[in-house]
Amino acid sequence: MLILTPMLTITQALYDQIVAHARKDHPDEACGVVAGPAGADRPERFIPMLNAAMSPTFYEFDSGDLLKLYRELDDRDEDPVVIYHSHTATEAYPSRTDISYANEPGAHYVLVSTADTDGLGEFQFRSYRIVDGQVTEEEVKVVQAY
C-alpha cells in the first residue's frame, strides 16, 4: 500500500535549481523531475527536461527523453519523487491538463509560477499530490540537508 506523506521536504539547493530552471525557460514553461531512492520519498537528483511543446501555456516531456529517463530511474533503483513544471502567466495551481497527465500517484507535483499572481513576489513554489484526479496541496519544507 502506498502511504503518502502530507509534506514535501526538499533541500534549498534543489529548490533553487527548480526555480532557476523556471526562470531560465520563461516565457515558456519549464519541466523536469527530481529523482530519489525508490520508496524513500527523498528528492535528490535534479533532472531538468526539455519542454517539447516549447509553449508558454503547456508542457510536454519528449517521448524519447521520457523513455530514457524511466530506463535510467529503473537502472538506478530510483523513483520520480518530484515532477515539476512552471506556469508563466497563472498561479502555481494544477490546470485540468496537468491533472489529467498526473500518472505518478507517489510523486510530489511541484508548480512554480513565474508570474506575480498574488502580489507576494515574482514567483510561487507550491507542491501537490494528485491521485485519481484529486488535487491536495501540501506543505513545502525547505532544509539545508537531509
- List phi, psi (to 5°) of 73: -60, -45
Contacts of 88 (CB under 8 A, 6+ apart): 26, 27, 28, 29, 56, 57, 113, 114, 115
CA-to-CA distance for 85 and 125, rounded, in angstroms? 10
pLDDT at 118 over 80: no
Q: If you count DSSP H runs as helices and E runs as strands, how many of each does the chain have, helices first?
A: 3, 7
The three grid cell numbers given for residue 2, joined into one nine-digit string: 502506498
CA-to-CA distance for 1 and 17, rounded, in angstroms? 32
pLDDT single digits (tens) 50-89: 999 999 999 999 999 999 999 999 999 999 999 999 999 8
pTM: 0.93
CA-to-CA distance for 73 and 70, rounded, in angstroms? 5
